[in-house]
Amino acid sequence: MNLIGLGAPGVGKGTYTKLLSKRYKILHISTGDLCREEIKKGTQFGKKLAKEFLEKGILVPDDIITNMLKERLGKDDCKNGFILEGYPRNISQAKILEGMIKIDKVLNFVAPDEVITDRLSGRIICKSCGAIYHIKNVPPKEPGICDVCGGKLYQREDDRPESVKVRLKIYHEKTAPLIKYYKKKGLLADVDVSTPYEEYPKVLKEVDKILRIGV
Ligand code: ADP
């Protein structure tokens, strides 16, 4: 089963796509995480990604990000299926993806703007494993330390107000048109993620229904 998770920055798609990947035993692939891993390595390429694109909140060019994704999809662990997050980000990436692999369903995670703003402003993530927390809503057991791996938690450079504005603008201009695009193809399903994080099992069951798993 090959899935895509769509949604505005901060809506919770990273959190939910990770939970769903565990539930369905499929791989979680986030192109944002692929970029952050590259940056962590400290290579010239990683530095370029950070300075020219991620820190500013603007999109990495299609050819660069597509090559990174292709490399990841080429690995053996993708054979059972995957849930892809952060790609496609625009119509041209959607067309490239179509030429690469079959997609079974596109989950469009939705929540009101004020929920999104609150989620983004309090988000902290683990430097080592990428686990996602929220200062108020989903705090780690020990402040600043990841429950999963003991890594250090930090606020993403692009979660600061200036970059957030740019990311939301780009989302509305370039990524939101994908909703219509996939609706037309009969692949889209909305998933309401406005409920507090503790109620995540309800959301997962909702997705089971959409995918007709266990019903
Ligand atoms: P969010 O969805 O919260 O904005 P991501 O982690 O998905 O965060 O992406 C962070 C950044 O990584 C983006 O602002 C962009 O610079 C880069 N990026 C990730 N995926 C793509 C993509 N498919 N195309 C272009 N840039 C991307």
**Which tens digit of pLDDT belongs to each residue from 159-209?**
988 888 899 999 999 999 999 999 999 999 999 999 999 999 999 999 999
- What's the pLDDT at 128? 94
121 Cα–ligand 1 center, Å: 17
The token pair that represents 155 in the structure block: 């606020």
Nearest CA to ligand 1 atom 6: 32
Q: How confident is the model at residue 215 (pLDDT cuts 50, 70, 90)?
A: low
Task: Return d(Cα 158, Cα 55) in angstroms, integer.
Answer: 5
Q: Which residue has its alpha carbon closest to ligand 1 atom 12? A: 32
Indicate the pTM of the whole model. 0.93
Task: Quote the ligand 1 centre to 215 CA distance (angstroms).
Answer: 34
Q: Does the Cβ of 90 fall within 6 Å of ligand 1?
A: no
Between the alpha carbon of residue 198 and those of residues 97, 139, 141, 143, 183, the distances in Å are 34, 12, 15, 19, 30
